Amino acid sequence: MAQPEMSQKGQTYQNYGAVYTETPLPAYYVTPAPPPRTSFTSSRFFKAGIVALALLELSYLSRHLFIHKHPHIHPHPYPHWDDSISGLNHDADDCSVWDHYDPDHHSTSAYNGTTSASKRFDAGDKYSFTIPTSSSRYHFASWGPIDKSSFEVIPVESDKDQIVVEVEVTKDPEGIARVCSLPSKSENDGERYGVGFYAPRLRDRDNYYFPAFNVLVYVPTKSSQQHLNSFETRLGQFEHIFPDLSSSINFSHLHVSAANVPMTFESVTATDVRVSGANAPIRGKLTSATDLIVSNANREIKGEYTLTQAGKIHLSNANAPIEADIHLKAGDFHPRPDYYVQASNANAPISIKVVEQPTGSGLFFKASSVMSAVRVHLHAAFEGSFKLTNILKQPYVEVINKDDDPAGRGRERFVQFDRRGSTTSGRVGWGSPDDAKEHAPGDVKLDTIGAPLELFFD
């Protein structure tokens, strides 16, 4: 249920007092009635008003006599900053600095001691940051109305343990673009871990007046794959471009999000992967050791997704297709791992193929859509139960591979199934159906409404 809106000045409370009416008794004498007594209620409100005025005056004097402004804070002409962002001081000298970066000098200093919140910045202004690779996170965030921008990661061979971030203002007609190293508060002596981009929320302006940025993130690479810490973005309309980093970098976490712009990953590896977008495609190759989550809306999810050990993959979308090839690997993990794969959609199809699965491993797979097709191809190593439910159409099941035993033991494949109304269920495996100990655990559940529902055993 939607919450009631609240005024920016806070909620207004109203007091409703009781109304007293006095009915005079009949007068049986001629002498005038005595003067009315002072109302206790009126006197009480009058005294309360006097006390309130006195407190207000005392508050005003205290504020001006005993409270001093921080010397690093100075006013700016745009009052609509989002001050709720934790750890960000929008007016601090070390937050609003631009040094008019000169490419010939390659300055990487984040502080030059000068700032002006009202200063105009022309298109082409550049700025440079460095983030130590020892930082626990490399975080990039944006706030406020920013027009479509770009965010690109570039691997470079370097013996320096630092990430270099170059920022170019590609559009800023109002001169309001701001950039900030994180953490940005003057009293915080912590190590720098990221960069923020933001603009004030101007009233009655369209995106022509919003600033735009081009961000290049240079990540150092070594002769062999190196482990780096958490790479995080919380960027609005910043197109994400990641090259092939799989052979050189393994992040502990890859948590990235954007909206209205594409997100492309040529090949990126991390222990934990979370990608979130909206209104633009998410494409590419992602590899994870534990969790791999991709969510989108209104544009397609298309990619190749790999788990290197026991873990889960979750793909969710709405109003646009999901197309995925899934690789499940075990390495030297014993006993064989269990994998959990889930895909959900609405008003758009799901098409998933499990390209690899270790023999003897367990796969627990769920996929559902509404008014759109669901097509799933399972690897020959899958063994277990399956259930397909489609209210308005008959589900379709096909066994493509009947005798090519993935374990190389010459076993034949068996399929048992039963159809009841809109549901088709059954079991598939290799060897004797009666030898439960011989078969790996697994379960597949697929459902949709009014569209093709198909399961293929490759």
Residue 434 has a pLDDT of 80
* CA 386 to chain centroid: 33
Q: What is the dihedral of CA 427, 430, 434, 436, to 10 degrees?
A: -80
pLDDT tens for each residue of the chain, 458 residues long = 444 444 343 333 332 222 333 333 333 333 344 444 544 444 555 555 555 555 555 454 444 333 333 333 334 443 443 444 444 444 434 443 333 323 333 333 333 332 333 334 455 678 888 999 999 999 999 988 899 999 999 999 999 999 999 999 899 988 888 888 887 544 445 677 889 898 877 777 787 889 999 999 999 998 888 999 999 999 989 999 999 999 999 999 999 999 999 999 999 999 999 999 999 999 999 999 999 999 999 999 999 999 999 999 999 999 999 999 999 998 666 677 899 999 999 999 999 999 999 998 999 999 999 999 999 999 999 999 999 999 888 999 999 988 888 888 888 899 998 988 889 999 999 988 887 677 788 999 999 999 999 999 99
Greatest C-alpha distance within the chain: 125
Distance of alpha carbon 433 from alpha carbon 451, whole angstroms = 32
Which of 435, 412, 429 is CA-nearest to residue 363?
429
Residue 421 has a pLDDT of 84
Distance of alpha carbon 251 from alpha carbon 226, whole angstroms = 9
| Sequence-distant (≥ 6) Cβ neighbours of residue 54 within 8 angstroms | none
Would you tell me how many other CB atoms lie within 10 Å of the CB of residue 310?
Answer: 18
Distance of alpha carbon 262 from alpha carbon 278, whole angstroms = 9
Which of 373, 392, 332, 391 is CA-nearest to residue 455?
373
Strands 162-171 and 212-221, by their bridges, are antiparallel
- Residue keyed to tokens 């977008």: 277
Distances from the Cα of 69 to the Cα of 66, 73, 77, 180, 351, angstroms: 10, 7, 18, 22, 60
DSSP state of 40: H
Domain ranges of the chain: 135-150+203-457
- Residue keyed to tokens 């030898």: 435
Cβ burial, residue 417 (10 Å; 0-12/13-18/19+): middle
Which of 238, 325, 247, 311 is CA-nearest to residue 274?
311
Residue 178 has a pLDDT of 84
Residue 186 has a pLDDT of 45
Which of 115, 108, 254 is CA-nearest to residue 192?
108
| Sequence-distant (≥ 6) Cβ neighbours of residue 229 within 8 angstroms | 133, 135, 136, 137, 138, 251, 252, 253
Distance of alpha carbon 235 from alpha carbon 262, whole angstroms = 12
3-state SS class at 454: strand
Cβ burial, residue 399 (10 Å; 0-12/13-18/19+): middle
